[in-house]
Amino acid sequence: MKIDKQHLLNYSILIPYLILSIIGLIMIYSTTSALQVQNEGNPFKLLLSQAGYWVISLVAIYIIYRMKLSFLRRTGLISVTLLIDGFLLVISHFFDAVNGAHGWIRLGPGGIIGLQPAEYLKLLIVWYLAHQFAKIQGEIRKYDYQALTKGQWIPNKLNDWRLVSLVFLGLVASLPDLGNAVIVALIIVVMVTASGIGYRWFSTALLGIVSASALLLGTIRVLGVEFVAKIPLFGYIARRFAAYFNPFENATESGWQLTNSYYAMSNGGWFGRGLGNSIEKNGYLVEAHTDFAFSIVIEELGFLGASLILALLFFLILRIIVVGIRAKNPFNAMMALGVAGMLLVQTFVNIGGISGLIPATGVTFPFISQGGNSLLIISIGIAFVLNIDANEKRELIQEEIERTMI
């Protein structure tokens, strides 16, 4: 008996995704229309661009949902996709830098088509590692972490997952794109943790990350931001550290963004100034529609409105985690947990940046920030999870039918 996938669609994931996407479109219009009018441009320009990407995303969700998981697990497909993204990361160095990083490839008249290969890598690394770790589940259960290292702490093969991950992480860091490099590194930690190894390794990795971060910040604090600024390629990162250490001291220069982010959140209070009534988006908070979009959400909708959006996002992430926990197939489980980890890491890195808990990283907030590439990658991740959930349900139903027929 064949069960059609369309009857197994997980609406507890699809509906929050659709609601968050629509809220994102509303906030993108709110954060961009005023400045577009001031510059005598089309107030709907960036909204239409994001809406176009959303339509493409919906088509991608439909196509990926209808695909067979066996096709999506092909080693050749994953390898070719990774190689293409690696090529794009290399050639992006030859395009103009945006905010100090060569993260964009602009094509077409006026650069109308924008590709962001570092954004694609977030999902690709989840896909690649889920595939790699799923193949050695028997070894992981038997040898724990040693199954991942093959007894070699230093990679000695070109196809070693550690070497591949480090190469791609290095390509992103060389742009230099600190924010996405941090996210990719944390996603790798999530995937290694979800691979089935002992939980003590997660505690060790977490302790190592916290210690390394504290050591880095302490070293920069002691040596001085001016010294770090002299290191090739990392001048813009030094400015962000200067803003992190004391934003109000550099309020007219490097601390401008973070200072105005504080003002925006303070203006919002509990209930906000009302949709469209932000002060900071009118030329004060320069990245109001991208990195600092959630600051404007707090200013316009208040702490309560922003909390509801966060609650909906965390509900979506939780439902994806549930799919991963319930999945019997190792690839399905790790893929779902990886997508959830990708969303969770990006959310916390963005909130940490706009609140001053960590240095600003230039990372967009899922769904809310203007960024077609980000929305497309999140949507493809959601499509993977919906496909995985439907297949797991179908296999479970077929097992029950076979059991009752015996």
- Give the DSSP per-residue string, 91-108: HGGGS--BTTB---EEES
When the pLDDT of each residue in the chain is averaged and rounded to a whole number, the result is 85
- Let me know whether 267 and 289 are in one domain: yes
| CB contact at 8 A, 315 and 57 | no
Assess if residue 59 is contained within a domain. yes
Per-residue pLDDT band for 87 (boundaries 50, 70, 90) equals very high
- Let me know whether 61 and 100 are in one domain: no
- Rounded Cα gap, residues 104 and 48, in angstroms: 20
HSE-CB of 75 using CA atoms within 13 angstroms = 5
- Let me know whether 9 and 83 are in one domain: no
Assess if residue 322 is contained within a domain. yes
The answer on pLDDT for 304 being more than 60 is yes
Per-residue pLDDT band for 250 (boundaries 50, 70, 90) equals low
Assess if residue 342 is contained within a domain. yes
Per-residue pLDDT band for 216 (boundaries 50, 70, 90) equals low
Q: Which residue has the higher pLDDT, 150 or 186?
A: 186
pLDDT, one tens digit per residue, over 142-152 is 887 787 887 77
**Mean pLDDT for the stretch of residues 365-380:** 93
Assess if residue 12 is contained within a domain. yes
Residue 323 CB neighbour total at 10 angstroms: 25
- Rounded Cα gap, residues 41 and 360, in angstroms: 29
- Let me know whether 276 and 342 are in one domain: yes
Q: Which residue has the tokens 């309560």?
A: 304
- Let me know whether 192 and 56 are in one domain: no
Residue 22 CB neighbour total at 10 angstroms: 12
Per-residue pLDDT band for 204 (boundaries 50, 70, 90) equals confident
Assess if residue 87 is contained within a domain. yes
Assess if residue 137 is contained within a domain. yes
Question: Residue 283 is encoded by which pair of tokens?
Answer: 């030329």
The answer on pLDDT for 271 being more than 70 is yes
Per-residue pLDDT band for 285 (boundaries 50, 70, 90) equals confident
Q: In the chain, what's the furthest Cα-to-Cα distance?
A: 76
- Rounded Cα gap, residues 338 and 345, in angstroms: 10
The answer on pLDDT for 356 being more than 70 is yes
Least Cα distance to 181 among 261, 125, 106 occurs for 125
- Let me know whether 137 and 195 are in one domain: yes
Question: Residue 164 is encoded by which pair of tokens?
Answer: 């591949």
Domain boundary among 176, 202, 223: 223
Per-residue pLDDT band for 103 (boundaries 50, 70, 90) equals confident
- Let me know whether 272 and 337 are in one domain: yes
Question: Residue 33 is encoded by which pair of tokens?
Answer: 């229309």
Please give the single-letter amino acid code of residue 231: I
Per-residue pLDDT band for 281 (boundaries 50, 70, 90) equals confident
Q: φ, ψ for residue 171 (rounded to 5)?
A: -65, -40
The answer on pLDDT for 179 being more than 80 is yes
Per-residue pLDDT band for 341 (boundaries 50, 70, 90) equals very high
> By residue range, what is the domain housing residue 187?
74-223
- Rounded Cα gap, residues 188 and 126, in angstroms: 8
Helices (H), 195-292: 199-223, 225-229, 235-245, 256-268
Give pTM, 2 decimals. Answer: 0.90
- Rounded Cα gap, residues 233 and 225, in angstroms: 14
The answer to which of 283-287, 308-312, 334-338, 399-403 has the lowest mean pLDDT is 283-287
- Let me know whether 93 and 168 are in one domain: yes
Q: SS3 for 101?
A: strand
- Let me know whether 129 and 159 are in one domain: yes
Q: SS3 for 98?
A: strand
Q: Which residue has the tokens 């993204």?
A: 85
CA torsion 93-182-305-259 (nearest 10°) is -80
- Let me know whether 9 and 124 are in one domain: no
How many distinct structural domains can be found in the chain? 2
Domain boundary among 223, 247, 266: 223
**Mean pLDDT for the stretch of residues 238-259:** 65
Domain boundary among 201, 223, 245: 223
Assess if residue 236 is contained within a domain. no
| CB contact at 8 A, 31 and 288 | yes
Please give the single-letter amino acid code of residue 207: L
Question: Quick one: pLDDT at residue 23?
Answer: 96
Q: Which residue has the higher pLDDT, 277 or 81?
A: 81
- Let me know whether 165 and 300 are in one domain: no
Question: Residue 274 is encoded by which pair of tokens?
Answer: 């009302």
Helices (H), 92-160: 117-134, 137-143, 146-149
- Rounded Cα gap, residues 6 and 398, in angstroms: 16
Q: Which residue has the higher pLDDT, 74 or 243?
A: 74
- Let me know whether 206 and 119 are in one domain: yes
Question: Quick one: pLDDT at residue 277?
Answer: 86
**Mean pLDDT for the stretch of residues 86-114:** 81
Question: Quick one: pLDDT at residue 108?
Answer: 72
Assess if residue 200 is contained within a domain. yes
The answer to which of 176-180, 197-201, 296-300 has the lowest mean pLDDT is 197-201
* Portion of the chain with pLDDT greater than 70, in percent: 87
* Portion of the chain with pLDDT greater than 90, in percent: 44
**Mean pLDDT for the stretch of residues 321-328:** 95
The answer to which of 132-141, 243-252, 254-263 has the lowest mean pLDDT is 243-252
Q: Which residue has the higher pLDDT, 195 or 316?
A: 316
